[in-house]
Structure 1
C-alpha cells in the first residue's frame, strides 16, 4: 500500500449502524440513490438514515453509488450528512477511485476536500489516475496531477499476484492498451515514462500492440514511438514490438515500426523466430515482402518450406530470388520416446515440421489421438520436448476451468497426474499432462496373468492401495473431490504405477461434503472391478445396489473393503487413511503371521472356557455360511491325522475357530519338530515339507529358508510322492532334472 494513503482496504464492508431501523433506512437510502431520487434521499437523511451503510455482498455504499451515477449534487448531499470518502468496497475501491472511472472533476474535488488521498489504491493497485487514463478522461488526469497524483506510480498488488508476475503497470500503459490517444498524450506531457515496464516486462508500446482496439492502434503506436518508445525492447517471452505487430496481423503498426531508426528487424523471440519467419508461418505474404524490403534476412529459418506449406508458391519463389536456402527438411535429432505404446507416433510427431503453439507441438489428426473426450479429444503432444497427453478444450470451457484449477492448486504427487502447462490458440485451450500407457481397463485386460502367485493377486492389492492413496491425497491435501471415478479416468504409466486423472468434474471441498461419499462409493465399486480383472463392465456395476456389489466380491477381505467404502456411515473423516491398513492389502505372509500370533494366545492354546477372546471369535448366526464349523474336513486327511496324533482323542482338534487358530499356530511353530515328522510304516523320515494338493510340476510355489528349518524332503499327498531337496537350499526336485522353489507357511 502507498504509505501516504490514510485509508486501507477492509476485509469486508463496514457493518451498518446499530439498530434494525438504521439498517433498514440504510438499504432504503441505497435504493433511493440508485433511483437518483433526491427528494427521497433528503427525507431519509433527515430522519437519520445510516449514510455509511454498505451492502454486504460487494460493499457498495450510497456514496459509491452516487459517484458511479455521476451525480455531483447527490455526492455533495451525502458528504454534508457525514458520508465517509474512505469507505472501501470489497475490492478495495474508494469513492475517489470510482470517480476516476467517471472522470467528473467536480466530484473528484469534493472527495479530495473531504479527506480522500489522491493516490489511494484499491486491492488490485489501481488509483483514480489509472482509472481515468484507461477511460480517456483528460481533464480528470490533469486535475489529479495538479493535486499531487504521481503520474509514474506503478500498480502494486498482492503477494500471490506478484508471484504470477501481475502488477507493475502505469497509467500510461492503461491509456495505451485502451487506445486512449489523447489521454496518453496528456500523460506524456505530464512526464509519464514511456520506457517503464510492468512485472512481465511489457512497456506501454507492448500493451498497445497486445490489447489496443484495431481502429486506435496505429495512432497510439505512432504517438508512443514519437515520444521515444523502444522498438527493440522485448517482453518476458522475448517478443519485440515488431513480432507482436506481425502476430496481431497489423500492417499499419508494422510500417510504423519499420520507419524507426536502429530497429533490429531480425531480433528473435524465445522460440528463435524472427518477425519474417512468424509472418511466413502465418501466411502474411504482404507483411513478409515488406519485411524483406526493409532488410530482413532470409536465412532465419526454412522460409521456402513454410511458404509452400501455405500453398504460396509466389512467396517461395520470392524468397529464392533473395537467396533463401532451399534445403530438405533437416534430419531429426537422435531423440527416443520413453513411451513404448505411443513411441512410433511420438517419433513421427517429433520429426514433423509443425508450427509451435507456445511450447507445445501437436497435430490434431486421428493418428495422434489417444482417446475421444466429452469436448475436444485427447492427443499426443510434445511440450518443451517432453512427451505429454494433451486435453483439448474450447477456450472458456467450464470443464477446462475445473481441470486446470484442480491441477494448479494441487501439490506434486506420485499418485495424481502431473500438469506440465497450458497453451491457447485460435479459440482452443491445450492442457498438457503426463503421458501414461494404459487406462485401468486396458491394463487389467492386458496384464491379467501378471503378479498372481498361489492365487494371491498382488497386482489387485497394489492397484487398489495406490488408488485409495491417490483419492485420499486428492481429498486431504488438494482439497478436491474427483466426482468421476471410473476406469477410463485411472491411468497406468510405463512402470505400472497408477495415476488418477481427469479432473474436469472435480469439486473443491468444504468440510465433509457429499462429494466425498460419492468418491468413496465409486471406490467401493472399483474394488469389485479390479479383483475381477475388469471382466464386469464398470457401467454395469454402477447400476447395482451396494449389497449386490459386496455379494459379488470373491472373498471376505474384498467384501469387507467394498462394504466399508460403499456404506461408510457417518464418520468419513480420513476413512481412506484407515482403510489402507485393511487386511485386504496384507500379503499372505502377514496374514499367516497374524493368524499364528492370535493362535499363540494363552486362551487359545489352553481352550479356556469363557474366554472373552474365544467369545469374540465365535461366528454369529448371520455368518453361518462363512463359519468354520467343518474346517477339519477341509484339511488334507494325512495332515489332519498327523496333527491329531499328538493329542489324546479327547484333545483332538475341534471344528471351532479357536482350534483352527491353534492348528495354524502349531503348524507354523512345530512343523519341523520330531513329533511332527511324518510316520510311514513305522520308519522315521527326514524333516519334510507338505506341498498343497493342487501342486503341479509347473507351479511356482515360492519358499523361504527351507534348509534353515531342517527340511530335507517335500511330500505331495495328491501324488503320494516324496521329492528330495536339490543341493540348492529351498528348492525341490522331481524325478527329472526340474526344480522349483517351495514355500514355508
Structure 2
C-alpha cells in the first residue's frame, strides 16, 4: 500500500495513521522549509497551479501544506478561477477554511461572470461554505457582471434557495459581517432591474410545466425551469408544499424586501407571479400587502381594502395589471385571488 489519504475516509479526508503523511504533503513542506517560496506557484499546461490540483483532488493534506507555505493559494487560473472558487463550488469546507486562513482573496472574481467565491457557493447550494465565507467577511452585497448579488443567486434557486437566503440575511455576531441593510435586500440587477423578490416570486412554484406569460413580463426573468403551481390551479388550500415553495419569499419579506419594487418594465413581484401563474407566490405576496395595509390603516384610522386593491392593481409599463396578466395567460386560480 502507498502512503496517503485513507480510502475509507474518502478522497483527501484524512491520512492513514498506519502509513504516515501524504508524500505530496511532505514534499511541499520540505521545499518550503528550504526557502523555496515559489513552491506551488508554478502552473501546468492548463494554467492552473498546485493548489488548484490539490483542491480538485480533494486532498486536504496537500492544500494544508500549500497554505502553510503560502504557496499559490491566491493564484487564479486562466479563467480567473482561484482555488477558493473551486473549493467553494465543491463544498470542501476544510479547504475553504485553510485557503481563507492563508490569505486567499474572498472577493476574487472569475472572468466570465464576475462571480466571487460566495456567489459560487450559493449557486452550488453549499450552505456550510456560505456560512463560513460570511463569517470570514465575504461581501454579501458584491455584484457579478450582471449586477446580481448572492441574494439574487439564491432567490433564483426557488424553494432550495431559502436556507441560503436565511444564511445570507442572518445577523451575525462577527464585526466583519454586519446585518444587511434594506437597500441591499432590494438591490436591482443591471439590465432588467429585478430584485431578489422578483426572482423568488418567479420561482415559488410547487410542480408542473412552465406556464405562458404575457403583457411585458420578460420571459428570461421568470423562465428558468420552474413550473406552474398545479395544486393552486385546482383551487387547493395552502399546503405544506405551498409553504415550502414560498419560504424564500417569506425570508425576503422578513428582511424588508419591497413588494412594490418595479423592474425596468414596471413589473412588481406580483406582476411576475401572476403572469407566471404561481398561485403560491401570489398568495404570499397578497398576504404581505394585506399585512402592510393593516399597519397603514391602523396608523391612519382608515380601511385596508383600498390600499390592497390599489397596490394589486398597479399597471406595468405596458399598461397591464397583475390581474390582466393572469387573465391573458389563462391562470384562473390566480384570478380568484386577485382583487377586481
Corresponding residue number in structure 2 for 1:220: 164
| Unpaired segments ≥5 residues, structure 2 | 4-10, 16-20, 172-178, 205-244, 290-307, 316-320
Does the 8 Å CA contact 1:125/1:167 hold for their aligned counterparts? no
Shift of 1:112: 4.0
Shift of 1:274: 1.4
Higher relative contact order (CA 8 A, sep 6+): 2
SS of equivalent residue, structure 1 residue 197: coil
SS of equivalent residue, structure 2 residue 312: coil
Q: In structure 1, which of residues 273, 281, 288 is the aligned counterpart of residue 267 of structure 2? A: 273
User: In structure 2, what is the Cα distance between the partners aligned to 1:147 and 1:141?
Assistant: 10
Q: In structure 2, which of residues 56, 81, 85 is the aligned counterpart of residue 126 of structure 1? A: 81
Shift of 1:131: 1.7
Does the 8 Å CA contact 1:177/1:209 hold for their aligned counterparts? no
User: In structure 1, what is the Cα distance between the partners aligned to 2:269 and 2:97?
Assistant: 39
User: In structure 1, what is the Cα distance between the partners aligned to 2:141 and 2:331?
Assistant: 39
- Between Structure 1 and Structure 2, whose CA radius of gyration is higher? 1
Higher strand residue share: 1
Query: Is residue 254 of structure 2 the alignment partner of residue 254 of structure 1?
Result: no
CA displacement 1:591-624 (0-9 Å, x = unmatched): xxxxxxxxxxxxxxxxxxxxxxxxxxxxxxxxxx
Shift of 1:73: 2.5
Shift of 1:104: 3.6
Corresponding residue number in structure 1 for 2:122: 176
Query: Is residue 322 of structure 2 the alignment partner of residue 298 of structure 1?
Result: no
CA displacement 1:508-527 (0-9 Å, x = unmatched): xxxxxxxxxxxxxxxxxxxx
Does the 8 Å CA contact 1:124/1:155 hold for their aligned counterparts? no
Q: Could you say if the C-alpha distance between residues 215 and 285 of structure 1 is closer, same or farther in structure 2, counting changes exceeding 3 Å?
A: closer
Corresponding residue number in structure 1 for 2:108: 154
Give the 5 Å matches for 1:507-586: none
Query: Is residue 157 of structure 2 the alignment partner of residue 231 of structure 1?
Result: no
Does the 8 Å CA contact 1:268/1:274 hold for their aligned counterparts? yes
CA displacement 1:104-147 (0-9 Å, x = unmatched): 43211323456622211111112222222222222222222222
Shift of 1:193: 1.5
User: In structure 2, what is the Cα distance between the partners aligned to 1:170 and 1:206?
Assistant: 13
Does the 8 Å CA contact 1:243/1:278 hold for their aligned counterparts? yes
User: In structure 2, what is the Cα distance between the partners aligned to 1:231 and 1:305?
Assistant: 28
SS of equivalent residue, structure 1 residue 294: helix
Q: Could you say if the C-alpha distance between residues 120 and 283 of structure 1 is closer, same or farther in structure 2, counting changes exceeding 3 Å?
A: same
Corresponding residue number in structure 2 for 1:552: none
Query: Is residue 91 of structure 2 the alignment partner of residue 136 of structure 1?
Result: yes
Does the 8 Å CA contact 2:92/2:129 hold for their aligned counterparts? yes
Q: Could you say if the C-alpha distance between residues 78 and 175 of structure 1 is closer, same or farther in structure 2, counting changes exceeding 3 Å?
A: same
Q: Could you say if the C-alpha distance between residues 169 and 314 of structure 1 is closer, same or farther in structure 2, counting changes exceeding 3 Å?
A: closer
Q: In structure 1, which of residues 88, 92, 98 is the aligned counterpart of residue 53 of structure 2? A: 98
| Unpaired segments ≥5 residues, structure 1 | 1-36, 40-68, 158-165, 325-745
SS of equivalent residue, structure 2 residue 133: helix
Cα root mean square deviation, aligned = 3.1
Q: Could you say if the C-alpha distance between residues 87 and 215 of structure 1 is closer, same or farther in structure 2, counting changes exceeding 3 Å?
A: farther
Corresponding residue number in structure 1 for 2:24: 75
SS of equivalent residue, structure 1 residue 308: helix
CA displacement 1:612-638 (0-9 Å, x = unmatched): xxxxxxxxxxxxxxxxxxxxxxxxxxx
Shift of 1:199: 2.2
Shift of 1:91: 3.5
Corresponding residue number in structure 1 for 2:151: 205
Bigger mean CA deviation after superposition, 238-247 or 299-308: 299-308
User: In structure 2, what is the Cα distance between the partners aligned to 1:145 and 1:235?
Assistant: 28
CA displacement 1:677-707 (0-9 Å, x = unmatched): xxxxxxxxxxxxxxxxxxxxxxxxxxxxxxx
Does the 8 Å CA contact 2:89/2:124 hold for their aligned counterparts? yes
Q: Could you say if the C-alpha distance between residues 38 and 239 of structure 1 is closer, same or farther in structure 2, counting changes exceeding 3 Å?
A: same
Corresponding residue number in structure 1 for 2:131: 185
Shift of 1:279: 0.8
Corresponding residue number in structure 2 for 1:668: none
Give the 5 Å matches for 1:34-73: 38=2, 70=12, 73=22
User: In structure 2, what is the Cα distance between the partners aligned to 1:97 and 1:284?
Assistant: 42
Shift of 1:156: 4.9
CA displacement 1:535-591 (0-9 Å, x = unmatched): xxxxxxxxxxxxxxxxxxxxxxxxxxxxxxxxxxxxxxxxxxxxxxxxxxxxxxxxx
Corresponding residue number in structure 1 for 2:219: none
CA displacement 1:276-326 (0-9 Å, x = unmatched): 11111111123212212211722223333323334444543543xx3x4xx
TM-score by length of 2: 0.63
Shift of 1:239: 0.8
Does the 8 Å CA contact 2:159/2:247 hold for their aligned counterparts? no
Give the 5 Å matches for 1:364-513: none
Shift of 1:270: 1.7
TM-score by length of 1: 0.30
Corresponding residue number in structure 1 for 2:335: 316
Does the 8 Å CA contact 2:274/2:326 hold for their aligned counterparts? yes
User: In structure 1, what is the Cα distance between the partners aligned to 2:65 and 2:133?
Assistant: 23
Q: Could you say if the C-alpha distance between residues 113 and 220 of structure 1 is closer, same or farther in structure 2, counting changes exceeding 3 Å?
A: closer
User: In structure 1, what is the Cα distance between the partners aligned to 2:312 and 2:159?
Assistant: 32
CA displacement 1:240-283 (0-9 Å, x = unmatched): 1011112223422112112223x211111122221111111111
User: In structure 1, what is the Cα distance between the partners aligned to 2:52 and 2:83?
Assistant: 4
Shift of 1:187: 1.2
Corresponding residue number in structure 2 for 1:287: 281
User: In structure 2, what is the Cα distance between the partners aligned to 1:241 and 1:115?
Assistant: 38
User: In structure 2, what is the Cα distance between the partners aligned to 1:234 and 1:247?
Assistant: 15
Shift of 1:85: 2.8
Higher helix residue share: 2
Q: Could you say if the C-alpha distance between residues 309 and 88 of structure 1 is closer, same or farther in structure 2, counting changes exceeding 3 Å?
A: same
User: In structure 2, what is the Cα distance between the partners aligned to 1:290 and 1:112?
Assistant: 47
